[in-house]
Amino acid sequence: MTNTVYLVDDEDAVREALAFLLGSRGLVVQAFDSAPALLAQLDAETAPPQGVFLLDVRMEPISGTRLHEALLERGLKNPVLFLTGHGDIPMVVAALKRGAFDFLEKPYSDNALVDRVEQALAVAAAMQAEGAQSAERAARLASLTEREREVMQRVAAGKLNKVIADELCVSMRTVEVHRARVFAKLGLRSAAELAGWLAGG
């Protein structure tokens, strides 16, 4: 679920209070008392996690920043938020440079924390949708034959059927058939739409 918060804090009272706070706002929380506990679950699951990570910085035996590195090593790009004390800020700034979403300095406001978590979840949902679109795009492209790809590139470049036929040494009718099949397979209607689709628009 994309509204899941993976919460990792080795202090029982803090972890339980955060889980209660987030749960009271309608968020799904999976709470862990250590980095190894989270990593063990992630490694056991077949599907990648959907949602965000909320990590305390100072934890044993693995710190929150080291846990962030372990997530990146597993190819996970989910937004990561850190809970941090003042002395940890240089460490967390380094984590931000590695792609962390934000850090919340203790003591934090409940509303501010939930707001940032919800913003991170919105980013996670957008990333998931973008990933699904990329997968669909790749699948559609993979369905094209080599000749259809050749026609597609020339149509996207704005070339006329006659020019394409001459370049590929085929009849105009053949180009028209391939062109129609390209549009049908990609779910597009015009050369302009095709050019935009190939450009990622």
Query: For the chain, which residues make up each domain, given as ranges?
Result: 4-135, 143-198
Side-chain-facing half-sphere of 127: CA atoms under 13 Å: 17
Split the chain (201 residues) into runs of 10 and give each run's mean pLDDT: 85 94 94 96 88 92 93 91 80 80 86 92 85 79 88 93 94 92 88 85 57
pLDDT at 80: 92
pLDDT at 46: 83
pLDDT at 199: 81
pLDDT at 88: 73
pLDDT at 85: 78
Is the pTM higher than 0.75? The answer reads: no
In angstroms, rounded to a whole number, what is the distance separating the alpha carbons of residues 120 and 179?
Answer: 42
Class of the CATH domain delimited by 4-135: alpha beta
Handedness of CA 22, 24, 28, 29 (dihedral sign): positive
pLDDT at 108: 85
Burial profile 79-103: b = 16 or more Cβ within 10 angstroms, e = fewer: bbbbbbeeebeebbeebeeeebbeb
pLDDT at 128: 81
Quick one: which of 110, 35, 48, 114 has its CA closest to 78? 48
Regarding beta strands 80-84 and 28-32, do their DSSP bridges make them parallel or antiparallel, or are they unpaired? unpaired
End-to-end CA distance of the chain, in Å? 27
Helix (H, G, I), strand (E, B) or coil at 55: strand
Class of the CATH domain delimited by 143-198: mainly alpha
pLDDT at 1: 52
Identical fold between 4-135 and 143-198: no
> Token pair for residue 80?
């990561």
In angstroms, rounded to a whole number, what is the distance separating the alpha carbons of residues 63 and 65?
Answer: 5
